[in-house]
A and B are shown apart, each in its own frame.
Chain A
Amino acid sequence: MVLLENDAFLTELTRLFQKCRTTGSVVITLKKYDGRTKPVPRKGHTDTFDPADNKCLLRASDGKRKISTVVSTKEVIKFQMAYSNLLRAHIDGLKKKDKKSKGKKTKATQ
């Protein structure tokens, strides 16, 4: 699992989407992250970790390659804009609504 900076993650995610156009799937996982870098201590031992409240972890994979990044409040606005543009640009293989095209001259948009 490669941990990347936000920009590098977006670049790699673009690459994953491009790789999986003919076959395979892209899986993206999003989860709230409290900043832990050490395992949770056993019962009886004191947990000296102070959980952060403002981070989330994003993972992406094409089945072979795994990448991840951490997003915090400071970067979320910029990251989210770039990320949603990326998703909209690459998730484009779905069916378009064609209710109105019946009876009219169909414009082939494929």
Chain B
Amino acid sequence: MLLLTYHKRSGSLLYRGARKQYINSFILSHFYGIMPYYQAWEEFARAAEKLYLTDPMKVRVVLKYRHCDGNLCIKVTDDAVCLQYKTDQAQDVKKIEKLHGKLMRLMVSKESHSGAMETD
């Protein structure tokens, strides 16, 4: 039986699947444990940054590049919520690399703000 719960960390309504994994509600599939790929980059970037800010120590960012298949995949997860974006377009490389850099800078800076970019 699918239960609908409010996941505080990501601020969204999620299904609680059989394997105790949270599936984002906008995926209408009933398969348990499926990790949704975002279709829109903007949405993914916003959700990723939001997830990081809720608990910086828990979140990790994974980048996987396959030259032989010509695709790049970025994943941001805190082991409860998993956000993924996959692409085969060259124009997305810059966006992904920028987000990666932004998160890296957030990690090394002393957290005293909520996502605003600091100018050194």
Main secondary structure of the interface of A (DSSP, over half): mixed
When A26-B64, A28-B62, A88-B93 are in contact, do A95 and B108 touch as well, CB less than 8 Å? no
| Number of A-B residue pairs at CB separation under 8 A | 107
When A27-B62, A95-B90 are in contact, do A54 and B67 touch as well, CB less than 8 Å? no
Report if A10 contacts B (CB, 8 A). no
Report if A97 contacts B (CB, 8 A). yes
- A48 CB to nearest chain B CB (Å): 19
When A56-B107, A72-B108 are in contact, do A97 and B90 touch as well, CB less than 8 Å? yes
Report if B117 contacts A (CB, 8 A). no
Per the bound structure, the CA–CA distance linking A90 and B93 in Å amounts to: 10
Q: Which stretch from A29-37, A38-46, A100-108 is at the chain B interface?
A: A29-37
Q: Residue on B with the closest CB to A26?
A: B65
- A7 CB to nearest chain B CB (Å): 17
Per the bound structure, the CA–CA distance linking A21 and B62 in Å amounts to: 19
Per the bound structure, the CA–CA distance linking A25 and B70 in Å amounts to: 10
When A76-B104, A80-B104 are in contact, do A95 and B70 touch as well, CB less than 8 Å? yes
When A56-B108, A94-B72, A94-B89 are in contact, do A32 and B56 touch as well, CB less than 8 Å? yes
Contact of A91 among B57, B72, B111 (CB under 8 A): B72
| A-binding residues in B (CB < 8 A) | 56-57, 59-68, 70-72, 87-94, 97-98, 100-101, 103-105, 107-111, 120
* Listed A/B pairs (6) with beta-carbon separation below 8 Å: A20-B68, A53-B110, A55-B108, A76-B104, A91-B97, A95-B89
